[in-house]
Each structure stands twice: as C-alpha cells, then as structure tokens.
C-alpha cells in the first residue's frame, strides 16, 4: 500500500518561539492519517496539518470509541532523530483498540507513516537540552450513526507538537477515597480517552484542596495505591523501590517498565507488588519513606514532595543522590543518544 504525501507550501516554523512553548498547543506542518472503511485500512496519507470535519452523528462523539498514545522524538548533536521503544507504543495502541472493539492498525503502516512524518517535519525536532517532539497517535470512530454499537469506520492519525522540558512545579498528592480511575474488568489498562475524561472532575476537586494530583486507589476497597494522576507511581521505602503490578486497572507504562529495568541494572532492590496506603503512611510516620515519584512520557519522572491520606499530611525529605534523579538522568540520556543503550531501546528514524 503506497503512502500518499502532500507537502505544505510554506512552513509555519519561523513563526514559532521554541523558547516559550506551552505543552501540546503548537503543532508541526504535517499530519498522518488513514481511514478504515469497508473492513480494511485505505491508502495512508501525509498532508498539511489542518482541521478535519465530521458528521455530528460520528460515533466517537456518542459512544467514546477513541484510543491514543504518547511518544517523543529526540534529535542528537549529529541531527539524527531517535524514538524510544516505539514498538511498545505500537503494540499498546492496538491492545487499547482491541478492548474498545476497534481494528488493529498494521505495524508496517504505523512505522512507515511515523518515519516519513518525522523526516518531513524533522526541523521541528529541536536539539536543545530537554527539547523534544511529542507524538500523538490516535484512533477514533467515524461512522455516521447513533446506534449503540461498534463503529464500522475509523480514522487513525498521528500529530506532533514540539515541547520543552516538562516541569510541573512542586507536586503534592492526595490518596483517593471516593472516586476511582478504573475497576476490575474495565478499560484501565487501555489508553482510552474516556479514562482521562472521567479523572478530570476528581482531579479538580483535589486541586481546590491544594493538591496537584491524585494517587488512585483500587475501586473495591480504596486500600491499594495504583497510579498517580496520569502516571505510574513509585515509592522508595528505605532503599527499596516499590511499584504496583500492572493489571486490567493499571496502564502498562513504557516509562514505568524502563525505570524498573534501569533500577535493577543499578543494583537497586525493586519490588513489583500490591502497595497499601497503610504501609506507605506507616513508612512516612517512621521516616522510612524516602521518595515518591510519578513516571510517564511527558515528564519522565515527576517528584512528589508530599501527600495526604484523609486528614493526615506528610512532607517528604529532600535527599541527595535520589533514585528519581539517578533514574531520570540515565533514562533521558538513553533517549537522547547521550548514554549507552545496552537494552536496545533506541530507534533511529531512517
């Protein structure tokens, strides 16, 4: 299947101030798209970035069939462009799509479209410290029909946004008591759009109480700590790094699994097991809770300065040689082609 390419007449890159970027608001010159019709994916296209039109009855608006991914491209000192474990993103978007009864997008088309898009918009990948190109693949249901059933038509797209180093300021979190991000048998493991929509209201309530994020707990008992906002969460108790196992409630984060491998490689004791709020509160009371941090594509690692469990509040110590700093330095060094990649995670855009 040949890829149809239509290039923009004049780039808008000269109008962009790359030193003052707001995350995910400025987009590159081109986008990739491919439609699923009559039971098959049609000719893929790269065309100028522009609005797309849908019928008001398109099923994505009514039944929420929408999944997405988040990736980054980096440019090294030689102007080579690198991706970080894109095979994992490709596999996961299809896993998410399957859960929402959407068709898988072919691996070869995914990589062909991604490579060509990044080559065409290569000037948008800046090579300053912390600079990257955020990549958003997504799939939405496009059939014009309001019957409550799976769509027959879909659109797969990739759009890209230049970003700077992500800094969220000081982050304090609260443990969830009432609302849940996901439940057993649900879609928590998928990057489904609705997962995030459902989290916004409780997140706003937490923000009104002075917290930047929520650490989600299990829906059944609210006793087990699972994710922090839109990130996986890690706890350092003394010199052991602990994180919850993936399940049908918890996203299999690519940053998460990479940090686990790096921590083990550094000789850090890592435990992947259920984590109770009670044990973390007790560890904080005893001074044994040394670090908490979230892990995800946007920030890589976001350090948590403090947390609240119901009415009890805790501040975490400021420590030198933190695991968060060690692991973030090593992971970003691999991503940006500055450090050895003994795991074979880097992917060079050809």
- Residue 111, classed as helix, strand or coil, is helix
Q: Using CA atoms, how far apart are residues 183 and 233, in angstroms rounded to an integer?
A: 18
Report the predicted TM-score, pTM, of the whole model to 2 decimal places.
0.96
Give the largest Cα separation in the chain, rounded. 63
Half-sphere CA count of 334, side-chain side, radius 13 A: 21
Q: Say how far residue 249 (Cα) sits from the centre of its chain.
A: 16
Listed in sequence order, the residues at least 6 apart from 109 whose beta carbon sits closer than 8 Å to its beta carbon are 1, 34, 41, 44
pLDDT of residue 296: 94
Tokens read off for 227: 């994710």
pLDDT of residue 315: 97
Domain extents in the chain: 4-163, 171-335
The reply to whether 171-335 shares the fold of 4-163 is no
Q: Using CA atoms, how far apart are residues 233 and 328, in angstroms rounded to an integer?
A: 14
pLDDT of residue 128: 85
**Using CA of residue 279, residue 280, residue 286, residue 290, what is the dihedral sign?**
positive
**Is-contact 137 68, C-beta < 8 A?**
yes
Q: Is the CATH code 3.30.470.10 the one for domain 4-163?
A: yes
Nearest 10 degrees: CA dihedral of 86, 244, 299, 349? -10
CATH class as words, domain 171-335:
alpha beta
pLDDT of residue 167: 66
Element (H, E) at 98: helix 86-99
Chunked mean pLDDT (size 10), the chain, 350 residues: 92 95 95 98 98 97 98 96 98 98 98 98 93 97 98 98 83 95 92 94 95 95 92 97 94 96 98 98 98 94 96 94 96 96 97
Q: Using CA atoms, how far apart are residues 205 and 294, in angstroms rounded to an integer?
A: 20
Tokens read off for 49: 């970035």
Q: Which residue has the tokens 């686990």?
A: 260
**Is-contact 142 1, C-beta < 8 A?**
no
């Amino acid at each position: 299947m040949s890829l149809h390419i239509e290039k923009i007449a004049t780039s808008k890159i000269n109008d962009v101030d790359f030193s003052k970027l707001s995350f995910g608001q400025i987009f590159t010159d081109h986008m990739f798209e491919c439609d699923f019709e009559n039971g098959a994916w049609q000719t893929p296209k790269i065309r100028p970035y522009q609005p797309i039109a849908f019928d008001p009855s398109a099923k994505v608006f009514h039944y929420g069939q929408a999944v997405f991914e988040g990736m980054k491209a980096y440019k090294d000192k030689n102007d080579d462009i690198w991706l970080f474990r894109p095979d994992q993103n490709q596999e996961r978007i299809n896993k998410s799509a399957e859960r929402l009864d959407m068709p898988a997008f072919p691996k070869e088309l995914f990589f062909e479209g991604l490579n060509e898009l990044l080559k065409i918009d290569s000037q948008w990948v800046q090579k300053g410290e912390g600079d990257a190109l955020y990549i958003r693949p997504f799939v939405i249901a496009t059939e014009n029909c309001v019957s409550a059933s799976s769509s027959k038509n879909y659109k797969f797209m990739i759009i890209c946004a230049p970003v700077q180093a992500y800094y969220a300021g000081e982050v304090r979190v609260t443990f969830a008591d009432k609302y849940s991000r996901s439940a057993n048998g649900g879609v928590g493991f998928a990057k489904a759009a609705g997962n995030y929509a459902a989290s916004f209201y409780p997140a706003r309530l937490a923000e009104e109480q002075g917290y930047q994020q929520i650490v989600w707990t299990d829906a059944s008992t609210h006793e087990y700590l699972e994710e922090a906002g839109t990130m996986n969460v890690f706890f350092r108790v003394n010199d052991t790094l602990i994180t919850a196992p993936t399940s049908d409630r918890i996203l299999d984060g690519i940053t998460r699994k990479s940090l686990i491998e790096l921590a083990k490689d550094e000789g850090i004791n890592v435990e992947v097991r259920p984590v109770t709020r009670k044990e973390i509160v007790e560890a904080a009371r005893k001074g044994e809770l040394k670090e908490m941090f979230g892990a995800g594509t946007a920030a890589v690692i976001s350090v948590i300065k403090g947390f609240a469990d119901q009415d009890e509040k805790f501040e975490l110590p400021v420590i030198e040689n933190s695991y968060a700093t060690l692991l973030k330095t090593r992971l970003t060094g691999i991503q940006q082609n500055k450090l050895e990649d003994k795991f074979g995670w880097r992917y060079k855009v050809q």
